[in-house]
Amino acid sequence: MSDSVGENTSCGYVAVIGAPNAGKSTLINAIIGAKISIVSPKVQTTRTRVMGIAMQGDCQIIFIDTPGIFQAGEKKKLERAMVAAAWEGTVDADAIILLVDASRGLSKDVRAIIEKLANNPTQKVALTLNKIDKMKPEALLKLAAEMNEIFDFEATFMISALKEKGFKELVAYAAKKMPAGPYMYPEDHITDMPMRLMAAELTREKLFLALRQELPYELTVETESWEEFADGSVKIDQTIFVAREGHKKIILGQGGAMIKKIGQQAREELEEIMEQRVHLKLFVKVRENWMDKPEHFTLWGLDNKA
Ligand code: GDP
Ligand code: MG
């Protein structure tokens, strides 16, 4: 008997869906144990379908971190593409996890998602109530009961993605749902996100964290060049595209202080992740109405015809 991969292995996809800010990225990062998806206190920061890959014994679980599902504006192409990408992620999934910010109760967003899930009753869904660190057990149990009354969930989990509590049971559930078959990725892969994209996402995260309310999400970061040197260092040039001249000023800050701070934070984290020296150069450019121009977001693998 050979012990080649494929004999006892299983492998499949898990779609994590939920309203913006439910904690999807935090959960996936906690499960994978590395920073893959971008976590930010601001809503709608996840635009890519980043995958995190977890190994659980002989099982490979590929998590799809979807953009949050929300009521997209009629005229906003980017928003609609984001929501369409999120639903698309559930079609081929072997398991679906509906993640809910339990501290917010049964919100309008969550009700809308459940209504849509009910259209396809053959798909089994695991309800996962997150942020239990923020609430009392009685309120939590009441919400769990209430939600199970309006939808036939296959299982219910209660977790704190932030405090890393309770998600082992969730991973064990996901592992059981994965079909038998060979691994789709080498065992040591944690994400299939290209480094260039990951580096751009990191800078975007630092921008959001530094600017918070001051900046709308009409902003994108692109890695323009990536040059590896013989001494093991890498030079990365990135452009931050904004919609208005005023935004450019905010990002640059007084005498360039803001962009310097952001660049330094992004560089330090990149060095930590890549374990090599990084020279990071940031440019800021105004690109008017980029949100309505499909060619500017096909980069993220979103369907701009949605
Ligand atoms: P996403 O939009 O669903 O991907 O949500 P994020 O993972 O970006 O999280 C949104 C916000 O909720 C962040 O500020 C997180 O730190 C916070 N958060 C996520 N999980 C928990 C949790 O278990 N407890 C608490 N208190 N906050 C959490
Ligand atoms: Mg997210």
- The protein residue whose alpha carbon is closest to atom 6 in ligand 1 is 23
So what's the pLDDT on residue 282?
A: 94
Tell me the pTM: 0.65
Does the pLDDT of residue 300 top 90, yes or no?
A: no
Find the helix packing angle between 24-32 and 167-177, rounded to 10°. 80
Report how far ligand 2's centroid is from the alpha carbon of 258 (Å): 24
Where in the sequence is the domain holding 211, given as residue range(s)?
195-300
Same domain, 204 and 95: no
**Residue 32: band (very low, low, confident or very high) from pLDDT cuts 50, 70, 90:** confident
Considering 151, 177, 203, which residue would you say is the last residue of a domain? 177
Considering 177, 206, 236, which residue would you say is the last residue of a domain? 177
Same domain, 138 and 279: no
Same domain, 104 and 163: yes
Whether the CB of 67 sits within 6 Å of ligand 1 = no
Of 155-159, 236-240, 242-246, the least confident: 242-246
Considering 117, 143, 177, which residue would you say is the last residue of a domain? 177
Same domain, 203 and 94: no
Termini Cα distance of the chain? 49
Does the pLDDT of residue 305 top 60, yes or no?
A: no
> d(Cα 23, Cα 296) in Å, to the nearest integer?
27
Same domain, 216 and 136: no
Q: What CATH number is given to the structural domain containing 201?
A: 3.30.300.20
Domain count, the chain: 2
Q: What is the tens place of the pLDDT at every residue in 115-128? A: 888 877 777 899 99
Same domain, 231 and 154: no
Does the pLDDT of residue 5 top 60, yes or no?
A: no
Average pLDDT over residues 232-257: 89
So what's the pLDDT on residue 141?
A: 96
Q: Which ligand is nearest to the CA of 27?
A: 1
Q: What CATH number is given to the structural domain containing 99?
A: 3.40.50.300
**Residue 218: band (very low, low, confident or very high) from pLDDT cuts 50, 70, 90:** confident
Domain membership of residue 87 (yes or no) is yes
Q: Relative to the CA of 165, which ligand 1 atom is closest?
A: 23
- Backbone φ and ψ of 180, nearest 5°: -65, 145
Report how far ligand 1's centroid is from the alpha carbon of 293 (Å): 30
Cβ atoms within 10 A of the Cβ of 34, count? 13
- The protein residue whose alpha carbon is closest to atom 17 in ligand 1 is 23
Does the pLDDT of residue 303 top 80, yes or no?
A: no
Same domain, 160 and 209: no
Q: What is the tens place of the pLDDT at every residue in 55-93? A: 888 898 888 766 555 555 555 665 666 566 666 667 678
SS3 94: coil
Report how far ligand 2's centroid is from the alpha carbon of 79 (Å): 14
Same domain, 145 and 230: no
Domain membership of residue 188 (yes or no) is no
